[in-house]
Structure 1
Amino acid sequence: MTVIVRAFRPEDASASAEVLRAALPFMVTTPEATLWDTSHAAPASHYQLFVAERGGEIVARAEAGIAHEASTPGQAFANVYVHPEHRGHGVGALVLRTAEEHVAGAGADTVYSWVLDEVPNRSFAERRGYRASRSAHFLRLDLANGTLPPLPELPADVELVPVSAWADDPRPMFELDAECTADEPGDLDAELDDFEEWLDSTWRHPLLDQELSTVALVDGTPAAFTAARTDGRTRYGSGMTGTSRAFRGRGLAKLAKTDSLRRARAAGYTEAFTGNDSDNGPMLAINKWFGYEICATEVRYVRDLG
């Protein structure tokens, strides 16, 4: 059966989102999010979503682009997802090659790709010249049947408020996000230095739930936050949780996340997902305290483009 790989079109949004849900059920996504990502990507990222058709059905997708926020130029990403029912037919190889050609044409000399820590997936990457780097975990929390810890009594100088309180002027949220992002462990560092780009990629993103995202204020200063990304139905995902350097060690991120998760459960969300770098011990410990359990592991693979 012929496989056709081509650039994403708006009418592919639902089918493309379904492929991602099937291949990586720990991710929170929607067709609206897919459309937003493809239409609001920063020009410097050269972001492109490719889809693969087999028998007229979209069975795979690949996200490819330049890591333009990284300090080292020439680094790119190419993440491939094949629907489980259509693996073993060469679809992944075709869509990966297309993605690699795209980033090479955009000036990349190194490409990174997330691969599930399973033998077939890792073998697929290694046969194509990729070598393993660091790993990260997906974690799941049963909001419907699990027991969330109670919200501790707040210190006198701490207040918890939803992110929506900055709807008129989100720049303080941008500055807090940028500081926390800079300290995230990973193969690719990231510097958030473009406020307008951040508004499009994060603040206005359809998955961001500003009401369920929580900020911890210390004497009125934004000190820690957790960003909630939801599908508007049952699934809640943690987009980012962090604390400003000046306020670390006080448990503020835990307070913010406790508040957000409890409000998400009250709003009817039944599953919560998050992801942590394997070396991010503090956040893994916090999530274990909440009751999250590791449900899958990804390994980041890297290849030098010839």
Structure 2
Amino acid sequence: MTAGVIREATDADIPALVEIMNEVNPARPWTPQTLEHETHFLRTHPLGLHLAQWIVEDAGQPVATAAALQFAGMYHPDRYHAEVMVRPAAERRGIGTALAATLDAHLRARGAREVLAGAYEDQPHALAFLTTRGFTEAMRVWDNVLDLQGFDPAAWTGQGALPAGVRVLSYAQLEAELGPDAALRAYYDGFHEARADVPRTGDATELTLDDFRQRFDNPAMFPEGMLLAVTDAGEVVAVSELWRWTSDPRRLDTGLTGTRRAWRRRGLALALKLAAIRVALAHGAAEIWTGNATTNAPMLAINERLGFRPRPAFIEMKWGGV
């Protein structure tokens, strides 16, 4: 029984961290490029986001990792997100306990008042690990998956009609029409308002135009899959985003799907989701994944109607509060 050697991770450890993370959570795989991008974003963000990461080696082999970080999308100076990941072959050897103690000391030294962590509902040992450390359930999010091989586009002919004066354009098409600066601003304005009402466990941080612009540096960015409902005046009134899954070219991931408040209940979300499915099929994708809070009844109803089916829910757990 050994807890291995715990040390702070460096950029040279990114490939090993990706291996651990993907083995522990294969449903949400990373690549070294996507982890490098995320790490750079956190370190250089003007909010001064915190990021600390550790790696555990046993007999010279990387077997576990832990992280304490702050996200720009739901920032508070005393709120942190914590992760502990142990390879299955190294479980029940005290490694997770040792990493949790390292995280606890680090966060207490920083004066953390709220810590968010989580695990999937089919991982009772991980949920018990958090419960015994004072975490309680705050929110559940399903991974909903659409198997495109079973989707029949002909069954949706004539459905998903748009209101008069509204078109569906990809961001690439909008940029060609308006130019880069005007297209970015229109996309940002629509995204910003639609994002504000997405269920989350804390208040959304104001999204700056600079933050939004940096999304286009993400290796997973797919401009042809950023579907926008655009009025004749060039206003973006709804969005539904597809992102590439850099570790699997046959899989696409849905980012935000949302509608500006004055345009809701007019069928825009369904129209954009259908347009996104057509784009996915044209690019040879086999699956579309999306995450939905279990409380988001309107979006769950649309996804169920389209044929998305839920996987085990991710349970976000919280300690403390701000």
TM-score by length of 2: 0.84
**Cα deviation code 1:124-162 (max 9, x no counterpart):** 111222122221111122123444563634444221111
Q: Which residue of 2 aligns with 1:21?
A: 22
Q: Which residue of 2 aligns with 1:150?
A: 156
Q: What is the aligned-residue RMSD (CA, Å)?
A: 2.5
Match of 2:79 among 75, 80, 90: 75
Q: 2:263 matched to 1:247?
A: yes
- SS of corresponding position for 1:211: helix
Q: 2:67 matched to 1:66?
A: no
Match of 1:162 among 167, 170, 173: 170
1:30-179 aligned at under 5 Å gives the runs 30-41=31-42, 42=45, 43-67=47-71, 69-70=73-74, 73-117=77-121, 118-147=123-152, 150=156, 152=159, 153-164=161-172, 165-166=174-175, 168-169=180-181, 170-179=184-193
CA 1:67–1:30 in structure 2 vs 1: closer, same or farther (change >3 Å)? closer
How high is the sequence identity, in percent, across the aligned residues? Answer: 26
Conserved 8 A contact 1:143-1:272: yes
Residues in 2 aligned to 1:174 and 1:197: alpha-carbon distance in whole angstroms: 10
Query: Which entry has the higher C-alpha Rg, 1 or 2?
Result: 2
In the alignment, structure 1 segments of 5+ residues that lack a partner are none
- SS of corresponding position for 2:55: strand
Q: Which amino acid aligns with 1:241?
A: T
Residues in 1 aligned to 2:240 and 2:101: alpha-carbon distance in whole angstroms: 36
Match of 1:224 among 238, 248, 252: 238
- SS of corresponding position for 1:128: coil
**Cα deviation code 1:64-105 (max 9, x no counterpart):** 223555475522111333333332222223333333444444
- How far residue 33 of structure 1 moved from its aligned partner, in angstroms, is 0.7
Give the length in aligned residue pairs.
Answer: 304
- How far residue 61 of structure 1 moved from its aligned partner, in angstroms, is 3.1
Per mean C-alpha deviation after superposition, the further-off stretch among 152-161 and 183-192 is: 152-161
Residues in 2 aligned to 1:180 and 1:64: alpha-carbon distance in whole angstroms: 29
Q: Which amino acid aligns with 1:261?
A: I
CA 1:196–1:258 in structure 2 vs 1: closer, same or farther (change >3 Å)? same
CA 1:154–1:74 in structure 2 vs 1: closer, same or farther (change >3 Å)? same
Conserved 8 A contact 1:28-1:236: no
Higher helix share: 2
- SS of corresponding position for 1:45: coil
Moved over 6 A (4+): none
CA 1:180–1:124 in structure 2 vs 1: closer, same or farther (change >3 Å)? same
Q: Which amino acid aligns with 2:201?
A: D
